[in-house]
Chain A
Amino acid sequence: MKRDSKLKSILSSATKKLKDQDNHTSETLSNDIQKNKEKLKKQFGPSEDVIFRQLNIPFDDDTAQDTLLVFVDGMVDENAVRNNIINALITQPLKLQRGGDKLEKVKSKVSIFNTVTNETDIEKAVFEILQGSAFLLVEGYDQGLLMNVAGFELRSPEEPETERMVRGARDGFIESISTNMALLRRRIPHTSLQFETIKIGKYSQTQIAIAYVKDITDPKLVERIKLRLHQINVDAIENSGEIEQSIEDHPFSIFPTIGNTGRPDKASALLMEGRVILIVDGDPCILYAPYLCLESIQSLEDYTSRPYYTSFIRIIRFVSFLISILFPALYIAVLNFHKVMIPSEMVVPLIQARETVPFPLAMEIIIIILMFETVREAGIRLPQQVGSALSIVGALIFGQVAVSAGIMGAPTTVVVSISYIASFINSSISGVISLLRIGLFIAASLFGGYGLIMAMLGLLTHMVSLTSIGIPYMAPFAPFYFRDWNDTLIRFPYRWLKQRPKSIPNKRPKKIESLPKTGDK
């Protein structure tokens, strides 16, 4: 209840702020079209992308009326402006024989094609024009017609490159929020899927849609997210990352507690699990919460393929995660502190490799790790044509020359490489893995296996303390929801996944009502 009232007070203060802005500028239109043009020009300044177009609209009583059409080039659909406004008004004289208001006639003509509203306030008109509306002023009237003809260049909804799937939908979210909402609506055509839109950013006026399935999602979750979104007061929202970082529970943790995806099929699956999705206009990545730690080893494709291989791959992913964060740390702990743990057969080659290297082992590993990170970062940012040159330099100079020149030891290079290869399988959290690898490595190089264990304990304690919009990050392990274990490292067959995961609070626990009985003939 307390939270409810808090939300209300914040909502009302937000609307009040908007009203204040309204009162602040109350310049209205006048009857004179030229004066209006001056006023508008003053608002827009020298911006050349705003087009002012004089139109002479003929009427069937052989009179004509001067009008002014204002729109922003590129923000409107050119075809709509040409056909639905200009052609519609000019080619045939408007019928005025039976009398009537000229503005009403014009409005009824253009409203065949567009949504039209009357507007008297210049500020508001300007605001709408900047968002892709066309504004039509008619001589002798102190109000204009706002027609929504927004339309701009969009790319087609292609599959996002970072989340490719072998078997699955081939579409992806794009930069336009309306297209993105439509992509979701097409997958869940039910009234229960609801979009709540708010605008954030004084200058950017970025639209943000909160999407959730009302029958499933826990209302407290939606409320919490809405509350936080309304508290954002910034000049501009550039991308979804800024929203993510302003509303997440633990802004200083290295673990992300809000997920993102570019795949509509994944987004709809998330919605059906009872999660809340945030679509930020201008960003093809949608955000979702709650985001659990477990998801970094899961993939949507796990559910399209059969359970056995999926479970195998999930185990591989988990083991790879451990290898990628622990391998260099274990290596230095064993070599520098716990020499008994070196396999006896490997002692001689390890010693011989170490003997040629001029640096201490810790420094050698740090150098290799930093070089790997550099090569990787360079590989991501470089254009593709240069990329192949980079891989040659990386592979040759690294793998071959540095080892044979005795600057780096072959075993050390192999250890770090294995760690990196293992991290590619969990690419969604590769940033976290890189940091953990270095952190654990430093702990291990200073205090050996003891330091490594202490660091791991600290890490686990931190991970258990994390929440994602109030939902425990490590669920279903901590807190312990045994029922959800049918979809963790081992994915059970589809017909045993009848319940929605308890880790994500929801109002509709049952997912599968019944399935055909097969197999017992």
Chain B
Amino acid sequence: MLLFCLCILTGCWNNEELDESALVHGLGINKAEDSLHFSMEIIKPSKESSEGSASGENIIIEKEADTLIEAVRESIRDVKRRLHFDHNQLWVIGEKLAKDDMIGYLDLSRRDQMFRLNSYLFITEENPVDILETPTLYDDLSSTEIVSALEQTKHISGYTSVKMYDFFKAMEGPIPNAYIPIIQTTEENNQPITSLNGTAVINDGKMVGKLTNHETNGLNVLFNKASGGYSQLTMNGNKISIEINDSETTIEPVLKGNHLKAHIEVKILSTLADNTSKDTINKEWINQVEKKASDQIENHIHMTLDKLQQELKTDISGIGIETYRKYPQQWHHVQDNWDDVFSKADITVDVDTVVQHQGLINKSLERHRDKHHNNPYKFNRGN
């Protein structure tokens, strides 16, 4: 009964009919001249059509305001209904705002009980309105579609998804750095669609740079989120890909004074997914593939780390957290200039890939199969 109480008494305490309220599904914030530019995607309660094809079921409201609450209340004038953020699943933040300071403006999202902390957070280089206005492929609302796409990202290790609570958890941790995926619109078949592209790196509430898809891949391996993804490699001119079933990353930092040494060990269990060569698969071949894959993943991680260390001087790799856990006493001394410590750290990476399974077939195509010589059902093949 108590549990029941707890889970039911979380929302706003008032009675409001569903058809008297406007449910916001996605929220975009960007910086305007001297205020903020808000855009909200609202579910449009249109009539159910008999064909079942629903298009343009969203209403986009745009508002200039100084704070989020002002925007929310002011837009009642336009929407004619009270806005509800209970189902807000998407936050799109413009790059301009992200580079300035976004934390302050997101305060309401945690202070007010109406917002969901399990909504997804994005940064876009474009105007957030464009993301929300993108026509959808399957769902009624572009926010819903982006969110449902994120649920599938476990099959692509090039992307990461960040929820509101992940972001705030990272920001309130010992190292106030975080990462947020970047979303953008691309042209496909003369139709704009949204797609995820890279990761934004946040240092102390400000966006300092971005990682490419390959670098994000390395980041995912570091975060142990690579399982379910794939890795593409080239061997003897042929493309070969493996599907990552499970990956385990252990970070072993060694802190001596202000000098950090870290060893990253990655164990990857995988399955052979694609083999465009005509080689016969045997132990040695598999070993070769494993070697190649390890090299490639190592490369990705190095790429990521190099960029983080040299260019961005921001630690979002998890090495800092591990150091904090291992040396809680010494942490105070390095905490203030951790970015510096991190960027000067020696990091070694060791990747061990195991191809557990080669799939259902041996060779890609087997033209001649010799008959077993004692086959009782002999027949002439007639040349």
Contact = CB atoms under 8 A, between A and B. Distances in A.
A336 B16 contact: yes
A355 B23 contact: no
A401 to B, nearest CB: 15
Given A351-B23, A351-B43, A352-B48, A339 B86 contact: yes
Given A351-B19, A456-B1, A340 B10 contact: yes
Interface in A67-104: none
B172 to A, nearest CB: 23
Interface string A324-337: 00000000010111
A344 B8 CA distance: 16
A338 B16 CA distance: 9
B52 to A, nearest CB: 11
A453 B1 contact: yes
A490 interface: no
B4 interface: yes
Interface in B1-59: 1, 4-5, 7-19, 21, 23, 25, 43, 45-48, 57
B10 A337 contact: no
A380 interface: no
Contact of B5 (A336, A341, A344, A453): A453
A354 interface: yes
A341 B16 CA distance: 14
A457 B21 CA distance: 31
Contacts of B43: 347-348, 351
A453 B43 CA distance: 31
B11 A337 contact: yes
A342 interface: yes
B18 A336 contact: yes
Contacts of B16: 336-337
B3 to A, nearest CB: 11
A449 B360 CA distance: 54
A341 B8 contact: yes
A452 B21 CA distance: 23
Nearest to B49: A352
A361 interface: yes
A333 B10 CA distance: 12
Given A347-B43, A348-B140, A348-B141, A457 B1 contact: yes
A476 interface: no
Given A342-B87, A352-B46, A453-B1, A336 B15 contact: yes
A41 to B, nearest CB: 72
B290 to A, nearest CB: 41
Given A339-B87, A457-B1, A448 B10 contact: no
A481 interface: no
B84 interface: yes
Nearest to A356: B47
B151 to A, nearest CB: 11
A299 B12 CA distance: 44
A353 interface: yes
Nearest to A339: B86
B144 A348 contact: yes
Interface in A52-78: none
B302 interface: no
A interface: dominant SS: helix
Given A352-B48, A355-B45, A341 B4 contact: no
B48 A333 contact: no
A453 B23 contact: no
B177 interface: no
A344 B89 contact: yes
Tell which of B25, B86, B141, B147 has the most Cβ of chain A within 10 Å. B86
Contacts of B12: 337
A326 to B, nearest CB: 10
B87 A450 contact: no
Given A347-B23, A453-B5, A361 B18 contact: yes
Contact of A337 (B1, B15, B89): B15
Interface in B65-95: 84, 86-87, 89
A354 B45 CA distance: 8
B47 A352 contact: yes
B11 A340 contact: yes
Nearest to B148: A345
A335 B18 contact: yes
A519 interface: no
Q: Of A335, A338, A361, A452, which is in contact with the most chain B CB atoms at under 10 Å from its CB?
A: A338
A350 interface: yes
B19 A347 contact: no
Contacts of A347: 23, 25, 43, 87
Contacts of B57: 348
Contacts of A350: 18
10 contacts: A339-B11, A339-B18, A342-B86, A344-B87, A344-B144, A348-B140, A351-B45, A352-B46, A352-B48, A450-B13
* Complex A-B, nearest 5 residue pairs according to Cβ-Cβ distance, in ascending order: A449-B8, A355-B45, A338-B11, A340-B86, A339-B86
Given A348-B43, A453-B8, 15 more contacts: A337-B16, A338-B8, A338-B9, A339-B11, A340-B11, A341-B11, A344-B147, A345-B144, A348-B57, A353-B48, A356-B48, A361-B18, A449-B8, A450-B9, A453-B1
Interface of B: 1, 4-5, 7-19, 21, 23, 25, 43, 45-48, 57, 84, 86-87, 89, 116, 140-141, 144, 147
Interface of A: 333, 335-342, 344-345, 347-348, 350-357, 360-361, 445-446, 448-450, 452-453, 456-457
